[in-house]
Amino acid sequence: MTRRKRQSGSTIVEFTLTGVPLIFVWISIVQMCIGMWNYHTLQYALKKGGSYLSAHGSSTGYCSTNNCRVEEVAAVIAQYATGLKQSSVNLTFTQVTSSVDHTTTGTSTSCTLSACLTNTTAFPNGAPEFEIKAEYQFMNALGMVAFGGSPVKFGNPWFPAYTHQIVLY
């Protein structure tokens, strides 16, 4: 009996010492999975938007009778960007003149995905190639606990996505 009295309360201490770090590890794993899903969703949406524009963006094909605009490509990207906050996705549309030196012509059009859905700027406007770049800031739950102070900085990462394609038709 006396030995049992000395061990009373050890279960609570052991759970505290092992349970709290395990819960933190579990939350970290879940957040990494959500972040990877967001990154791949963004890249897939940009790939689909680029494929749409590649097939429809020629000034002699579809765009000769219909004005191809940023809002059309943004609608395709928004359709495939399931679960991403549209105001947190930054898009940049750039026209490219040749695949040899990759020089850009004109100005790039930059906007958030929610603003691009109403942008009536013509794109790619006769250019033979184009680039679309996207950035998405992932707001993870670990950013609440790990502040961005010195000397180690934790925070919310930006996920990049990129597509460079040739206008086919």
H-helix or E-strand spanning residue 161: strand 158-166
**Average pLDDT score over the chain:** 82
pLDDT value at 152 more than 80: no
- Give residue 10's pLDDT: 79
Q: Read off the pLDDT band of 64 (50, 70, 90).
A: low
- Cα of 145 vs its chain's centroid, Å: 23
Q: For the chain, what are the domain ranges? A: 2-166
pLDDT value at 113 more than 90: yes
pLDDT value at 161 more than 90: yes
pLDDT value at 4 more than 90: no
Q: What is the pTM of this model?
A: 0.80
Per DSSP, the three-state class of 107 is strand
Span 103-117, average pLDDT: 83
- Give residue 87's pLDDT: 92
Q: Read off the pLDDT band of 81 (50, 70, 90).
A: very high
The sign of the dihedral angle between the CA atoms of 65, 132, 97, 110 is positive
* Sheet strands side by side (includes 158-166): 104-112, 89-96, 129-137, 158-166
Distance CA 68, CA 59 (A): 9
For 121-135, what is each residue's pLDDT tens digit?
Answer: 888 877 788 899 999
Quick one: which of 110, 40, 107 has its CA closest to 80?
A: 40
Span 105-119, average pLDDT: 87
Span 10-36, average pLDDT: 88
Q: Read off the pLDDT band of 42 (50, 70, 90).
A: very high
The sign of the dihedral angle between the CA atoms of 162, 69, 90, 30 is negative
- Cα of 81 vs its chain's centroid, Å: 8
What phi, psi does 81 have (nearest 5°)?
-90, 55
Cα-based distances in Å from 80 to 22, 27, 65? 35, 27, 26
pLDDT value at 5 more than 70: no
Peptide bond into 151 cis (omega under 30): yes
Q: What percent of the chain has pLDDT over 70?
A: 76
pLDDT value at 26 more than 80: yes
Span 24-28, average pLDDT: 87
